[in-house]
Amino acid sequence: MKNETTMLFFNKAFLSSFLVILSLFFYPSPLSKEVTTPLSVPSVAQESATVSNALILGQNLLVGIPGLDLDKVTADLLREIKPGGVVLYQRNFRDFTQLKNLIQSLQSLAVKTTGYPYYIMLDEEPEGALRTGLLKNIFPLGYPNWKKINEDIRLLAMTGINVELAPLADFPFLPNSFISKRIPFNNQEDMMTFNRSFIQIMKQNNIQATVKHFPGLGMLSDDPHYQVVTSSSTIETIEKSMKLFRDAIQGGATFVMTSHALYDHLDKENLATFSKVIVTDKLQHELGFEGIIITDDISDMPLSIKGLNIAEAGIKALEAGHHMILYSHQLSRTKRVVDVLLLKAGQDNAFLELLTHNYNRIIENKQRHLPIPAQLLEYE
């Protein structure tokens, strides 16, 4: 399937990854299992009754940061926002040593300011979205190269990534779907088989998997990142798409990311981001998902149509059933959004109860999956 040039690139990429892995063995990860200390709290419910609204709200938030290191301005904003996690992008990556140092700095700040580690998320898709260059050329002969996949995931884990924004369950049911270029499968069965194995490898490396973008981008011709897109797919096609998500959830995915599109056979009035029918009724109740539901990026999406601002978008997404809302860009603007949400939490008991419910679920997940490294407990 790949020509000789591609294979040569693959061999070089493999050698590069191997050397980086070797170097990391001599610089143990601050998040490795050997140095972790289990969290010790009476109960999540008891804890949430004593923490501030700012801490409760913060765990409902995922944010992006601007650079290659944790500068003072960024650190100060993170201290104020107190997010539950940070999503890293290509702008945050130079090499794996730099990335590891950045993540260590972030986690030190997280434990000092929130009491828990951050979810450190990376949008690195198998043959899809590119952030660090891993998980590419992994189908050299038309089927998965599991040796390279294992090595790449291990490198991500040793660097400090603890949540992967992958795999995709967006099978292209439309022949002209924009998502086709990010999907290396010809049929749904191969996608399900790969996703289950991929999720298990991540689980073995203490990385949680995020299946996305519910209820499926493969029913869309255009990318909803750039415009509001409507899917008129039949209920039969929607059910086929939901089967892919159900299978990944049963296979161990603990996070689900939703889509920004409108699915008029499910909810004619609301984008999936704002749809209680899709997020709560379909995903949580019908599919029985008990993990953490996150939005796609709100910060630069076309959600301001008809006067809707990004703070209102976040509120609507939380009320639809999301547990965490993502603002990937412009951290200072995200801080202004937080101020709006915090004001609402202080005035609206129902909204504060919703945030607290999400806080409890997130902290339970962190207690189970993100023990605090001993170095960070001792960090001054």
Q: What is the pLDDT of residue 309?
A: 87
In this prediction, residue 378 has a pLDDT band, given cuts at 50, 70 and 90, of low
pLDDT mean over 344-365: 97
Q: What is the pLDDT of residue 371?
A: 83
Q: What is the SS3 assignment for 203? A: helix
pLDDT mean over 34-60: 66
Number of CB atoms found within 10 A of residue 319's CB: 15
pLDDT tens profile 274-311: 999 999 999 999 999 999 999 999 987 655 466 678 99
In this prediction, residue 339 has a pLDDT band, given cuts at 50, 70 and 90, of very high
**CATH says 44-88+99-377 is which class?**
alpha beta
Mean pLDDT of the residues in the chain: 87
32 Cβ contact partners less than 8 Å away, ≥ 6 residues apart: 158, 373
Least confident window among 187-191, 193-197, 224-228, 276-280: 224-228
Q: What is the pLDDT of residue 41?
A: 43
Percent helix, strand and coil across the chain, each to the nearest 5? 50, 10, 40
Share of the chain above pLDDT 90, in %: 72
Taking each helix axis from N to C end, the angle separating 146-159 and 4-25, rounded to the nearest 10 degrees, works out to: 40
pLDDT tens profile 231-276: 989 999 999 999 999 999 999 999 999 999 999 999 999 999 999 9
Question: Are the CB atoms for 82 and 58 separated by under 8 Å?
Answer: yes
In this prediction, residue 197 has a pLDDT band, given cuts at 50, 70 and 90, of very high
In this prediction, residue 45 has a pLDDT band, given cuts at 50, 70 and 90, of low
217 Cβ contact partners less than 8 Å away, ≥ 6 residues apart: 168, 170, 177, 178, 179, 223, 224, 259, 261
Task: For residue 242, give the nearest of 258, 229, 226 by alpha carbon.
Answer: 258
Q: What is the pLDDT of residue 129?
A: 81
- The burial class, CB within 10 Å (0-12 / 13-18 / 19+), for 47 is middle
pLDDT mean over 205-223: 95
Least confident window among 43-47, 174-178, 212-216: 43-47
CA-derived radius of gyration, the chain: 20
pLDDT tens profile 69-110: 999 999 999 999 999 999 999 999 999 999 999 999 999 999
Q: Which residue ranges make up each domain of the chain?
A: 44-88+99-377
